[in-house]
A = this chain, B = another copy of it.
Amino acid sequence: MKVSYLGPEGSYTHTAALKTFSSNKTLELIPAPTITNIIHDLEIGLVDKAIVPIENSIAGGVAETVDALQRSENVFVVNEMVLPIDHCLLAVPGTNLKNNLEEITKVTAHHMTLGQCMDFIRKNLASAEIEPSSSNSIAAKRLKNKYAADQDVRHEAVIASRHCAEIYNLEIISESINDASINETRFWILSKDINSGIKTPKNKTTVLFQTKDEPGSLQMILRIFAINHVNLSRIESRPAKKNLGEYLFLIDFDLHRDDPRFEDLMRQVKQHFTYYKWLGSYCRMA
């Protein structure tokens, strides 16, 4: 079984993939450079499954995941998993940066990671240049590669996982630097086969929709869920990509598409929709 993930090796998505699929003896993990590429690889059949981050408890929703799923065809959420995140500040081995954080001139990480460590950065790395990267693990890998060629990176740091420190032979100079002690990322497992997920009695559904341009239309939709006693666990807005001020909504609610009540609920809410896309019904883990 081939699974695409956000590479290179050592990313949190890589760890999430290893935890999710470790029991599969034929597992082959295929790194992709962006979330858009991960989903595209699944869409065109290069892989059997894909794993993507959907939200982090500090930095919030992953817009690229929602946008890529909206554009995709026949790609569905079949499971979710939650991974604890523990960010470390890493540097090349043998520096004295551990006791001299103020000597760090540059810190690199994915923008979602930077957003999870802003308080730490402001307090400890106030004069460092903040540099985004397409993943934490690519930042770690590049720091290792640059060091091999040029020792002039002894004042640079990256934010990544302990696993990255091992893989790329970097030294941990500060641990657990997240702005909140609880830091978790929820991942979606994607497949073209809607029946390939794990089944449990606790289920949820994710849909994307746009409401009619009428006052209070979102409130009316949420009210239908409340009247039907269906718990809505998450709502996120995304731009409709037409005019400023027009939005799509991504909602998670505790009802599987196979539940007999699903069709009736959807019939009621769809009256208020101008756009609707079912992204998946799957086992609820968070």
Contacts and interface: CB of A to CB of B under 8 A. Distances in A.
Interface of A: 33-34, 36, 40, 55-61, 63-64, 67-68, 71, 82, 111, 115, 118-119, 122, 129-134, 179-180, 182, 184, 186, 215-216, 218-219, 222-223, 225-226, 231-239, 241-247, 286
Contacts of A111: 111, 132
Interface SS of chain A:
mixed
Contacts of A216: 222, 225-226
Contact of A40 (B71, B122, B132): B122
A233 B219 contact: no
A245 B222 CA distance: 17
Contact of A226 (B55, B219, B243): B219
B122 A36 contact: yes
A57 B239 contact: yes
A68 B118 CA distance: 9
A182 B242 contact: yes
A152 to B, nearest CB: 15
A134 B129 CA distance: 10
A36 B222 contact: no
Give this chain's copy count. Answer: 2
B82 A239 contact: no
A118 B241 CA distance: 12
A243 B182 contact: yes
B59 A115 contact: no
A235 B233 CA distance: 16
Contact of A180 (B56, B182, B184, B241): B241
A159 B238 CA distance: 22
A64 B132 CA distance: 13
29 contacts: A33-B129, A33-B130, A36-B122, A55-B244, A57-B244, A57-B245, A59-B63, A59-B239, A71-B118, A71-B119, A82-B244, A179-B241, A180-B241, A182-B243, A182-B244, A186-B244, A216-B222, A216-B225, A216-B226, A218-B232, A219-B219, A219-B223, A219-B225, A219-B226, A233-B245, A235-B235, A235-B237, A236-B237, A244-B286
A66 to B, nearest CB: 9
Nearest first, the 4 A-B pairs at minimum CB distance are: A219-B222, A216-B226, A132-B132, A57-B244
A215 B239 contact: no
Contacts of A238: 60
A184 B244 contact: yes
Given A59-B239, A71-B118, 9 more contacts: A57-B245, A60-B63, A64-B115, A179-B241, A184-B244, A216-B226, A218-B235, A219-B222, A245-B286
A203 to B, nearest CB: 16
